[in-house]
Structure 1
Amino acid sequence: MILVFGGTTEGKKVAGILEKAACPYYYSTKTNIDFQPGAYGIYRHGALTATQLQAFCKVHAVRAIVHASHPFATQLHATIYESAQTLSLPVLRYERNYPERLEHPLVKYCSSYTVAMSWLEQHPVKRLLALTGVQTIAPLTPYWQQHATIFRILPRESSLALAVQAGFPKEHLVQDMPGNDLQQELALIRQYDIDCILTKESGESGFLATKIQAALQSNIPILIIERPALPDTFITVSDEVSLLAGLNSVLS
């Protein structure tokens, strides 16, 4: 049995690969999403602590974990690492593609949100467009309470509820799916008179290249939070061949 942590484009790719290879697997996400497994998959949802994850792996005889969740799911990274170390389970990290980091005066990579906020304090902007996701609204409260900020969040009731819970004003929310439509991004920047973008190093699946291009065409800075480092014990794979080869290696 293989346990897949998904909820992303990469997670769906992994599920498709395992279905094709007739490998039994559990597909796990934090929240309940519209995921229909095939003949070899079983879907579950709900956050797991390290203790719960270890119990799940024991009960279901999990022999390998494929971690295909979001690169910024830092708590999940830690939970998987701790559990895998305790149970001596191999972890394959199905990684997304990332564009090469661009060296440009308007493109600024930041090691943390604290660094990004410090830059913004030193370089005040009229209106910030935050594309960092609804989960970052609460941590960034000290900034948006004092400075004009627009947050784009997913068009889901759960996302809206989190934003409202954090106290963020509804009129400053844009509920829309991210995409690779450059004209759509440029229109959003013009509509709200944005003069700086805050986003995450979310790779091609997060349409990072499109966001950067929109900032450059608009001649405004874009602050990019660098993706967190992963444990050295995770085995990186990025396609069907490397995933199946990795599974064959650790399960043989």
Structure 2
Amino acid sequence: MILVFGGTTEGKLVISALAETGAPFWYSSKTAIDVLLPVNGQYRYGAFTPEALTTFCTTQHITTIIHASHPFAAVLHTTIGDVSKRLAIPVIRMERDYPETQTHQLVRYADSYEQVLEDLHQGGFEPVLSLTGVQTIVRWAPYWQHKKMYCRILPRDTSVAIAQECGFPETQLLLSFPGKTVAEELAVFRETAAQAVVTKESGESGFLSIKVAAAIEAGIPLYIIRRPVLPAHFIRVDNIAALLNHLQV
């Protein structure tokens, strides 16, 4: 039995690949999503604690974990890493494509939210546009509680509810999906009159190259928070052929 952590573009690719093999698998996401599974797939949702994941892997006789969740699911990375090592279950990490590190003066990489917050305050940027998602709104509270910030989040009731619980000003929420073209992102930058933009190193699935190009064209700084480091024992693949080769199905 295979356990797939998904909820991403890469997760959908894994589903399609496993459908062809007929290998039985569970597909897991943190929140409930609409997912179309083949007859050999089963679905569950909800965050795993280390104890719950240990029990699930044991009772469901999990022999392989395919980790295709978001690169910034840091808690999940750690949970999978600890449990898989303890139970000796191999983990195949389905990686997305990442653009090369940019050297442009307007593109600024950071290792933490705190580092970006410090730079934003020192730079006197206002307003700032956040493209880091609704789960990070609370991380930006030291900024938006005192200065104007716009946050783009997915147009879902659950996302709006999270923003409301944080106390973020609803008039500064942008409910839309990431722009797929430079022109679309430029329009958002200009609509908000953003003096700086913050995003995550979410790869090409997250249209990172588009955001970089738009910021450079707009002439405003773009802060990119680097993705978390993965456990060393994860087997990394970046295409379906390599994934299936490791599965040997």
TM-score, normalised by the number of residues in structure 1: 0.97
The CA distance in 2 between the partners of 1:94 and 1:47, in whole Å, is 19
The CA distance in 2 between the partners of 1:15 and 1:81, in whole Å, is 22
Partner residue in 2 for 1:27: 27
Q: Is the 8 A contact 1:36 1:43 kept in 2?
A: no
1:151 aligned counterpart, secondary structure: strand
Deviations 1:190-239 (A, max 9, x none): 11111110000000000000011110110000000000110100000111
Q: Could you say what the CA RMSD is over the residues aligned between the two structures, in angstroms?
A: 0.9
The CA distance in 1 between the partners of 2:113 and 2:215, in whole Å, is 19
Partner residue in 2 for 1:188: 188
Identical amino acids, percent of aligned pairs = 47
The CA distance in 1 between the partners of 2:169 and 2:144, in whole Å, is 10
Deviation at 1:155, TM superposition (A): 0.4
Q: Is 1:216 aligned with 2:216?
A: yes
The CA distance in 2 between the partners of 1:212 and 1:147, in whole Å, is 24
Unaligned runs of 5+ in 1: none
Partner residue in 2 for 1:178: 178
1:33 aligned counterpart, secondary structure: coil
The CA distance in 1 between the partners of 2:113 and 2:228, in whole Å, is 12
Unaligned runs of 5+ in 2: none
The CA distance in 1 between the partners of 2:122 and 2:8, in whole Å, is 35
Deviation at 1:62, TM superposition (A): 0.5
The CA distance in 2 between the partners of 1:237 and 1:2, in whole Å, is 16
Q: What is the identity, as a one-letter code, of the residue corresponding to 1:47? A: A
Aligned length: 249
Deviation at 1:126, TM superposition (A): 2.1
Deviation at 1:181, TM superposition (A): 2.0
Q: Is the 8 A contact 1:91 1:235 kept in 2?
A: yes
The CA distance in 2 between the partners of 1:196 and 1:68, in whole Å, is 31
Deviations 1:5-40 (A, max 9, x none): 000000111111111122111000010001010121
The 5-angstrom pairing of residues 1-252 of structure 1 reads 1-248=1-248
